[in-house]
Chain A
Amino acid sequence: MHISEGILSAPVLITGAGLTATAVGYSLKKMEHKEVPKVAILSSVFFVASLIHVPLGPSSVHLILNGVIGLLLGWPAFPAILVALALQGVIFQFGGITTLGVNTFNMALPAIICFYLFNRGIKGANNFIALILAFVCGFLAVLLSGIMVAAALVFTGEPFIQIAKLVLIAHLPVMILEGVLTVFCIGFLRKVKPEILNI
């Protein structure tokens, strides 16, 4: 999911950086004081999750967990993912500094979309429905990220359908895995610490 440096053209990079800067600015302004520790912890989770990789055919993919992060954070997912990606770029050379804006946007926007789609549902009284929704949330977040990566790569001249297929097929196991992980995470939090979900 991390797009390396030197692949995207300048307009794509600038657009990504601009959109990310706006979203980060907005969410920092909106962020509550008491939310900060939660954002920091989930940012570290994102930072570590990308190091867990799933071997797969000729390529390999890793966990992203943007679904869970979006569900638990909402808008502050933007600064959380930005900080984690920046450090991954500097320390592990995943992605890159110039592509930071695009990469953050690709992973954080689906997180926020999932927040708005599923935030209500996973708080519902019915445990079973909540868990099904959690699975869909984890699955969908990765799916959307994959589509956005493919869309960003289109501007490099490769045909969209081909990249989209490649990215999506490669990430199908991750989508399922993330769905299952989101179910466990939400199930666990519903039982043990419902106040994190604001129930």
Chain B
Amino acid sequence: MKNKLYLVLIFIFLIIMVINIPVFAHKVNIFAYVEGDRIYTESYFNDGKKCIDSKIEVFDNQGNKLLEGLTDEEGVFSFEVPPEDVIEGDLKIVLTASMGHRAEYTISTGELGDTISVGSAKEEFEEPVSVISPEISSLDLKEIQSLIEDTLDKKLELIMREIKKSQEDKISLTEIIGGIGYIFGIFGIIAYFLSRKR
């Protein structure tokens, strides 16, 4: 009886050790977003460490490789949005980190389309505005445009970070206990079949 108690104690101790570690290793994540005419990707292990010098490859939805590159010291890799005629459908960004870790992220045409439509909207707007207020030259408009973009980038950065955080997988106690429960269940079934064999 005393010995069994020891085993239970070791088990509890192991679980407590796990709970005290807030983040976990052994998975890589990649997160990508469109900013202006570039696509930025950030790669990190799921304990928050950046993936340095990891290979990033970009594919279209036909599986053709468009480009590839390495992440920098911040785990960031950025590239220009490929011209519209090159893209067929969504862009798939694949991260291959060391030791067999791999993750992918898909940028939908919707996200890419936004930047393209902003570009065309700018041109449409220029003329009517200059008709209403002739003192605003097109140069001013461009400045305003870039100012708005800068501010938006700054404001959106926070939201982007939040989204990124929510994508990071935190392992909860429920999942751990649940997993252990499954294991006992599975071996319960095995024990059942073994006992029927006899």
- B18 contacts A170, C-beta separation under 8 Å: no
Using CB atoms, name the residue of chain B closest to A47: B179
- A40 contacts B184, C-beta separation under 8 Å: yes
Residues on A with C-beta less than 8 A from B14 are 45, 48-49
Q: A36-B187, A53-B47, A93-B169 are in contact. Are A193 and B99 (CB under 8 A)?
A: no
A28 to B187, CA, bound (A): 11
- B99 contacts A36, C-beta separation under 8 Å: no
Using CB atoms, name the residue of chain A closest to B104: A6
Is A58 part of the contact surface with B, judged by Cβ < 8 Å?
Answer: yes
Residues on A with C-beta less than 8 A from B45 are 59-60
Using CB atoms, name the residue of chain A closest to B95: A4
- B179 contacts A87, C-beta separation under 8 Å: yes
A92 to B171, CA, bound (A): 7
Shortest CB distance A159–B (Å)? 13
Residues on A with C-beta less than 8 A from B52 are 58
Q: A47-B179, A51-B171, A83-B187 are in contact. Are A41 and B26 (CB under 8 A)?
A: no
Q: How many A-B residue pairs have CB under 8 A?
A: 134
For A27-47 the 0/1 string (1 means CB < 8 A from B) is 010010100110111011101
Shortest CB distance B22–A (Å)? 11
- B183 contacts A47, C-beta separation under 8 Å: yes
A94 to B99, CA, bound (A): 13
A61 to B49, CA, bound (A): 12
- 19 more A-B residue pairs beyond the given contacts A40-B188, A54-B25, with a C-beta to C-beta distance below 8 A: A2-B26, A3-B100, A8-B100, A33-B191, A36-B190, A36-B194, A37-B187, A40-B184, A51-B171, A55-B47, A58-B50, A59-B97, A87-B183, A88-B179, A94-B26, A94-B27, A149-B100, A167-B99, A193-B3
The 10 closest A-B pairs by CB, nearest first: A53-B25, A40-B187, A3-B100, A60-B25, A4-B102, A36-B191, A44-B180, A87-B179, A193-B3, A51-B18
Q: Which residues of B are in contact with A by a Cβ distance under 8 Å?
A: 3, 6-7, 11, 14-15, 17-18, 21, 24-28, 45, 47, 49-53, 94, 96-104, 169, 171, 175-176, 178-180, 182-184, 186-188, 190-191, 194-195, 198
